[in-house]
Structure 1
Amino acid sequence: MESGSGTLFGPSSVSWRVHADPVFPVAGVRALILQALHPTAVAGVAQHTGFRDDFWGRLERTGLYVSTLTYGPAGEARKLAARIRGIHRRLSAVDPDTGREFPLDRPDLLLWVHCCEIESFLTTVRRAGNPLSDADADRYVAEQVVSAELIGLPASQVPASVAELDAYFHDVRPRLRLTDTARDGIRTLTIPPMKAWVQLLTPARPAWTVLAGAALATLPRWARKMYRLPGLPTTDLAATAGLKALRVAALALPDRISGPPEARRARALIAAAEGAA
């Protein structure tokens, strides 16, 4: 898949509309929290990069990867994905339950990471008020199959609609649980390391607290229960209202500070494409 703009998706794609949304950072953190519920996947992360070591660098590299795949030239996106595949191909970890070694590029783990990202990205921006129709949602999931292929998964194994994505999570849930490793990771994710001057002289700590709190509150009800968080319908209503307020506030910010440059350029191109339609 390659758009007329030379990127994998382009201004007319649903992927650009989702990934350029102001609440996308909340969706990214939500995806990480959801991913931690897979015991084998979280063990692989803990045994190689840990959670506190280079926390911000790792987060920045993850954001760069998603940004490059979404907005970068198609050739650059494919090269970056190939480089990441090569790194994962050389790495392995030990399953804490069985004691057996497993490769980090095991297909079921790659699929888990992909599905957590796509479900989180889509669900978060829709709950925040992005006016995506059900058809748009299905198109987004289908568009993102190409992202799964770039990390080494056959398209036939990847959900291509919201219904297929929901079915995947229904099937995988019996294999999920909250481990001590996941608890440690989420503790770091919600209260990450920050230099003293950053905490004292910038709003970084309270801003991150709001972002992480929104990510936790908007998890699926079954995932919140695993994390021993409230799982009541009223919690869902409150989380959605808070997320919508956050999006309204973000949209009111001056454009120059309303997100990373690539997302701002994407929003401008989306608006131009819609205006020309």
Structure 2
Amino acid sequence: MKGLDRFFPAAPAPGAAGDTGLFGPDSTAWRIARERLIVAGGPAALLLQVAHPLVAEGVRAHSGFTDDPLQRLRGTLDAVLTVTFGDRGQVRAAAGYVARRHRPVRGTLPAAGGPLPAGTPYSATDPGLALWVFSTLVRTALEVTEAFHRPVLAGERDAYYRDMRQLAHVFGVPDRLLPDGYAALERYMDAQIRTTLQVGAAGQQIARQVLAPQPPIVPWPLRGVPAILAAGVLPPVLRDAYGLPWRRRERAVFAVARRVARIAVPLLPGGVRYWPHYRVAAARVRRAPATGPGGGSSSSPTPAAGAEEPS
């Protein structure tokens, strides 16, 4: 579908043979993030992010939302997939690109937002704001996996968070700011919701553009689905703050989507189910790296433990 092609990132380059990148095929990060279904949480993740007044103003003032409402979603998705599945060179390149894009994003709040007075400065390089954005990505990926694929127990949530701390480091969140485990991350997010977040005019504007982008990316009968998915994944207080309906009809559509996805996802072929970034990475780690001068090279695949053969 042409509209969806505007949103999904393209397949990456093959990368260096044998290079597992930050995580590798045995990691919880690969097992969770390889599923294309996590894209269903994209709107909810963005709405969580821009519920923070400083993030919302940075996105409003420095992103091309009027021309391309899905720019931030697509860029964030591409960066996260590249860092998760790329070789180490691709990870460094993605981190450098994000850093260059973030460097000029700075300014001040034009009006008070929640407890933050007008004139409060913001910067996309602020580690505290980077922590909030990172936290929304981790939470949403796990909530969407739980809702639309399979249960994610506490141990796996902790393992995923431990893996993704490396992604946080890549994007400028120091270890001293990161909560100790996934339960601590949830407590941090709950505290932010209670004390800092407020859905202001900028957040509402961004939400409208993301949930009903122009031109549309889905056919007319499905155009209300992104708002329903976001409403089902967001914390109730933020769902209400954005004014997203959650009546019997919306709850029923969400429940049907959950049931259908949980049945269908395990039956899908890998070429449909998994991101191309995962399939490229799984093939890359199975390739034997070339040996040094005089040692020749090997083109025969080297099995990587835990790497599932993508179809």
Q: TM-score, normalized by length of structure 1?
A: 0.82
**Deviation of residue 181 (structure 1)?**
1.2
| 1:167-246 paired onto structure 2 within 5 Å | 167-173=187-193, 174-194=195-215, 204=219, 206=221, 209-229=224-244, 239=254, 242-246=257-261
Q: Name the CA distance, whole Å, in 1 between partners of 2:71 and 2:169.
A: 25
Q: 1:225 to 1:57 in 2, by over 3 A?
A: closer
Please tell me whether residue 124 in structure 1 is matched to residue 138 in structure 2. Answer: no
Counterpart residue number, 1:258: 273
Counterpart selection for 1:16 from 30, 33, 56: 30
Q: Which piece of structure 1 moves more, 44-53 or 81-90?
A: 81-90
Q: How many pairs does the alignment contain?
A: 267
> Contact conserved, 1:126 with 1:132, CA < 8 A, in 2?
yes
Identity fraction in percent: 28
> Contact conserved, 1:39 with 1:177, CA < 8 A, in 2?
yes
Q: 1:204 to 1:234 in 2, by over 3 A?
A: closer
**Deviation of residue 247 (structure 1)?**
4.2
Q: Name the CA distance, whole Å, in 2 between partners of 1:52 and 1:248.
A: 37
Q: Name the CA distance, whole Å, in 1 between partners of 2:221 and 2:265.
A: 15
> Contact conserved, 2:229 with 2:254, CA < 8 A, in 1?
yes
**Deviation of residue 168 (structure 1)?**
0.4
Counterpart selection for 2:79 from 65, 69, 78: 65
Larger radius of gyration: 2
**Deviation of residue 207 (structure 1)?**
5.1
* CA-to-aligned-CA distance 1:176-230 (integer Å, 9 cap, x gap): 11111111111111110117xxx7xxx5555564344212222122221222335
> Contact conserved, 2:228 with 2:254, CA < 8 A, in 1?
no
**Deviation of residue 50 (structure 1)?**
4.1
Q: Name the CA distance, whole Å, in 2 between partners of 1:233 and 1:75.
A: 49
Q: Which piece of structure 1 moves more, 259-268 or 101-110?
A: 259-268
Q: 1:145 to 1:54 in 2, by over 3 A?
A: same
Q: 1:211 to 1:166 in 2, by over 3 A?
A: same
Q: Which piece of structure 1 moves more, 125-134 or 171-180?
A: 125-134
Q: 1:141 to 1:82 in 2, by over 3 A?
A: same
Structure 1 runs not aligned, ≥5 long: none
Higher helix share: 1
**Deviation of residue 80 (structure 1)?**
1.5
Q: TM-score, normalized by length of structure 2?
A: 0.74
User: Aligned-residue CA RMSD in angstroms?
Assistant: 3.2
Q: Which piece of structure 1 moves more, 158-167 or 38-47?
A: 158-167
**Residue identity in the other structure for 2:20:** G
